[in-house]
Structure formats: C-alpha cells, structure tokens
A = this chain, B = another copy of it.
Amino acid sequence: MVEASPVAPGLPLEAYLEGAARRVESELVRVIEAGRRRGPDRLWRAIAHALLGGGKRLRPALAFATAEAFGAESGEGSLVVRFGAALEMIHGYSLVHDDLPCMDDDDLRRGRPTVHKAFDEATAVLAGDALQSLAFEHLLADPDPRAPALAALLSASATRMVEGQSLDLLAEEEPPGLDEVLDLQARKTGALLAAAVTGGAVAATGSDQGLAGVGLKLGLAFQIADDLLDLTATADDLGKRVRKDAGAGKATLPALLGPEEARRRAEGYCEEALRAFAGLGERAEMLSALARYVVARRK
C-alpha cells in the first residue's frame, strides 16, 4: 500500500520540489530574457505566460532525483537542469495547444487565463510552436556530449505525446477499451514522464539504465491520479475546470474501472517503480518519495 500523504509543509519532499522548481525557473527566466531582447515582444510575453505560470515542475524533479540516484549533481548550470527546462518547454507547449478552442477549449490553467485567452489564438499556436523548437535549441546548445542523447529521447517522447493526444481525440468518437486507454495514456502522459526518468539516468551515466518501462508505469500512475483528482477536487484546488473529462465522455481508467480499482492500479504501478528504485540504494530515496507523491498528491 502506497503511503497516503507523504507531503506536508516542511518535510524534505516539499523542500525538494521547491528547490527543483527554483532551479528550473531560473533557467527558464534566462531563456525568456534572451528571447525578449530579440523579440517579438508579444510572442515572448506569451511564452513567459505559458512557462512561468506555476506548475509542480514534477518532470524536472523526477529527472533531477533520478540523476542523483546515479550519483550526479543537479545544481544550477548542470546538464540535467538544462534538460529539466527543456522538459518544461515541451510540457508547456503541449498545454498551450491542448487548451486551444479547437482542442479542449479551456479558458483557465493553473488559475490564470490560458494563453489564447490572455493573448489570442494565433499567438497561442505560435507560442506553443516556438516552445517546442526552443526546447531542442536550448538542450542542444549544451556542449556536454550527452546532450544529443537527451534531445533524441525528448523528441521521441514528444512525438509519442502527440500520438496520445490524437488517440484521445479519437476516443471521443469511439469509446476505447481498457487496452486502448492504457496505450493512449502511455503515449499522452507516460512518454514524457518516462523521458524525465530515463533522461535523468542518461544525464548521469550516458545510459537510460533500463528505466523506460518503470518511467512509463509511473506516467500511467500519474494519469490515473490526475483523473481521480478530476473526479473529486474542486476547480479552486486545481486552478482549472474539473469534471470536463466525464462531460466530454473521455475514456479514463476511473471511468472504465471505477475509482477504487483505478486507484489500486495506480498504486500497483507505483509499487513497481518503488521496487526498481529500491534496487538503486539509498541515493534513490528522493526518487522513491517522488514516485509516492505521483499517486498520493492532492493537486
């Protein structure tokens, strides 16, 4: 059984997440400042709106904790922090495009207007497009010989992610079965979370350390937790519209299996990850705490 609530103010995990977010955000701010000097101002303000509107920065934190599990540092200026920023650029672009009127048509994201609401639709399309190339530009500007492997990993998971989005759209027309929902979510959410974990290992060791499967499971657990929160949380808790998935008839594991069985699955996936991380020894304790947080978080 996964511990129900591992996070409380003052506990190490919360401090770790805050520190990870701080390092990623300073990196993002530097990139945005360089962009704003070059312009155009409207595009770069939209990019800043998308990138600096909060968020848990869970993907970078997973990458950092994995790198640390293999003995690497994740301080400012390290390759894995650059990778973390690139992960947030890809994640951020996907949210901006996902919120567009022709996609999920959302007005609110993390309690703030979405990019096409704060600016306009064309600017939102372009900000998302620029964020994607920027992720690769930023990562490949690092002279570290491991940067290209990280960019390769990131690009492959970004393509899988869009395939998952497309499967998600198709699911509205034809309700998928369990296997299809798992495939959809492994691509839509799992691929980028798996890239965070394997990227941390690559940054530290040059190899993904066979963690791709574990990363995918963690991604599935994360998505189930998200879908469960969508059922139980309020819009104020999440800073976005809730229960939209049920309304749009989207296929989720809680909808297919019921919330209890879905939570059991999420915990099972998480325990698989925890077993793998336990094998990495003491240095992987923060990574394990993050894995527990993925399913136990309240927002």
Contacts and interface: CB of A to CB of B under 8 A. Distances in A.
Copies in the complex: 2
Interface in A102-127: 102-103, 120-123, 125-126
Contacts of A38: 163
A136 B133 CA distance: 9
Nearest to A173: B42
A32 to B, nearest CB: 12
Interface string A128-151: 111011101100110000011001
A43 B166 contact: yes
Contacts of A39: 163, 167
Contact of A166 (B97, B123, B158, B165): B123
B126 A166 contact: yes
B43 A162 contact: yes
Given A159-B130, A162-B129, A165-B126, A152 B170 contact: no
Given A40-B163, A159-B130, A169 B122 contact: yes
A225 interface: no
A148 B126 CA distance: 25
A156 to B, nearest CB: 5
Chain A interface mostly: helix
B166 A40 contact: yes
Interface in A141-197: 141, 147-148, 151-152, 154-156, 158-159, 161-163, 165-167, 169-170
A214 interface: no
A100 interface: yes
Nearest to A165: B126
Contact of A129 (B128, B137, B148, B167): B128
Given A40-B166, A136-B136, A140-B151, 18 more contacts: A40-B163, A93-B129, A100-B125, A102-B122, A103-B125, A126-B165, A129-B132, A130-B162, A130-B163, A132-B132, A133-B155, A133-B159, A134-B155, A136-B155, A136-B158, A137-B155, A148-B148, A148-B151
Interface of A: 38-40, 42-43, 93-94, 97, 100, 102-103, 120-123, 125-126, 128-130, 132-134, 136-137, 140-141, 147-148, 151-152, 154-156, 158-159, 161-163, 165-167, 169-170
